Amino acid sequence: MSVEVKPTKIFISYLKGFLVPDVLSSLPYDHITLPWRKLPGDNPHHIVILLNIMPVVKLIRYDTLHANIRYLFMHLEIENFYLEMCTTLLLGLYLIFWFSCLCYLIPILIMYLLNIPPIVSAILNYVEHISKTIIVKILFHEKECEECWMMRLEDTSLRYRLKNAIFIVLENILASGYGLFIPEKNVHIIFNNILMIVGRFIVCYMLVMFLRIKTERKTSESKFQELIDQVKAYTIQKQLLPHMKKRLLAYYHYRFKNTYFRGKRILSELTEPLREEIALESCRRLIENVAIFKNLPKNVLQSIVKNLKFELYLPNEVIIKAGTQGDCMFFLSSGTVAVLTPTGKEMCHLSDGDHFGEIALLVADQRRVASIIAIEVCEVYRLDRKDFRHCIDVHSELFAEIERIATERVEKTVRVEEQHKRFLMRPSRGPNLRSKPTETRI
């Protein structure tokens, strides 16, 4: 993925996308159209009415909201299962909120378009001792806003109206009622029918999505369980000892982390640039920790990462044995290993970001000068000699750095090994004269 920083190209890309809808839906039309705005009943201009509902264009930006939420979950490394659940619930809330807004907006538009004055609401706010039904009949016996359900509310606060609009929408979507008032006129009936139909689609969509999310999560886990069952059957058929069976099962648990997938099959269907990006991202932790990878050109880094091969070692497993011929080096992604001389003298421990076995890459048929044993579960990446030569040809500085490190480690290993041999060859001490004499029995 490339990042563009030139303002001109960013503006052109934005212009081809959502620049115009964002500008049109973000202007302060309430202030712009204030000199020309009129109340219903005073012949308001239809153009002014349409301009004031332009913010509704923001509805088309749901995909952007969904994409930003996905990026946030990826940055926080939250499991995809929770992302799917969150976006499904968010879509339901998104539709309910906007239908609630439309439930309030449509009657208001009818008032403006049909030029119906909102006198009823004004009188009802100030006159309490007169019957509200009588006032409505007296003032609007010919031209009454019968679709304006909010005119029949006693509380005219925006919060109360929004709460009742949400109540109307939820009851219609769930087909459990009509809200506060039973629809009697055409517009109200049509809107309620649309809400009921859309509600069925919303409920069915959310049920299908929840079932699909649950099924997909269980699919990988069930495949992993099938694999474990096969491994258990294999250990029984081969009559492996209990400790070997335990180690074999532990390997698969650490390797696949209770889910099963075919990594090679997935990568084989991708394009080469995408495979390289995935390889860099999957080895991001390794690249950040290994000192010799820092300040490397991107093309060299991609060449190295592309040739790395993942391996997993359980505790007490031998990764490298001293005296054997080596043809690869290892990069330790996670875990801890012990470095031992050929005679078994422990030299040091290596942890995340360290590397070992580089001597075998510099000299052909070179025997290992030390043994490497996993202390805990270790994730390592192997780089073979043939791939190493291909990568290093384009960056000689890396070759010089690895050669320097290898030389220092060989000298240190030889020095420690000689000291350990001299210690083992020292003659044993004579009897301790100060020790208590043994008792003799007669």
- Maximum Cα–Cα distance across the chain: 137
The pLDDT score that the predictor gives to residue 147 is 56
Per-residue confidence at 161, pLDDT binned at 50, 70, 90? confident
What integer pLDDT is reported at residue 261 of this predicted model? 63
Q: Give mean pLDDT, residues 409-425.
A: 78
Rg, Å, the chain Cα set: 38
Contact 279, 305 (CB under 8 A): yes
Hey, which residues does 332 pair with through a beta bridge? 380
299-345 per-position pLDDT tens digit:
777 778 888 888 999 999 999 998 888 888 898 888 899 999 888 88
Question: Which of 31, 104, 24, 30 has its CA nearest to residue 56?
Answer: 24
Summarised one tens digit per residue, pLDDT across range 351-405 is 888 888 877 777 767 788 889 999 999 989 898 888 877 776 545 677 777 777 7
pTM for this predicted structure: 0.47
What spatial distance separates the first Cα and last Cα of the chain, rounded to whole Å? Answer: 92
Indicate the range of 74-83, 122-131, 172-181, 409-418 predicted with least confidence. 122-131
Average pLDDT over residues 222-241: 84
Element (H, E) at 311: strand 309-313
How many residues are recorded in the chain? 442
Task: List the alpha helices (DSSP H) in 174-315.
Answer: 186-237, 242-256, 263-268, 272-282, 284-289, 298-306
Round to whole Å and give the CA distance between 321 and 337: 13
Digit-coded pLDDT (tens) for 49-106: 888 888 888 888 888 888 888 888 888 878 777 888 888 888 888 888 888 888 888 8
- Is the pLDDT reported for residue 109 higher than 90? no
C-alpha span between 246 and 253 (Å, rounded): 11
Three-state DSSP class for residue 348: strand
Of all residues in the chain, what percent carry a pLDDT higher than 90?
Answer: 4
Return all residues near 81 (Cβ < 8 A) that are at least 6 apart: 213, 217
Q: 269 versus 189: which is more confidently predicted? A: 189
3-state secondary structure of 339: strand
CA distance 434 to 231: 61
CA dist 341 and 322 (Å) reads 7
Q: What is the pLDDT of residue 12?
A: 83
Which domains are assigned to the chain? 11-78 (no CATH), 272-420 (2.60.120.10)
Give residue 57's pLDDT: 83
The residue written with tokens 């070759």 in the block is 399
Torsion-angle region of residue 239: left (phi > 0), alpha (psi -120 to 50) or beta? left
Half-sphere exposure of 59 (CA within 13 A, CB side): 11
Instruction: Tally Cβ neighbours within 10 Å of residue 49.
Output: 18
**pLDDT at position 92, please?**
85
Decide if pLDDT at 122 tops 50: no
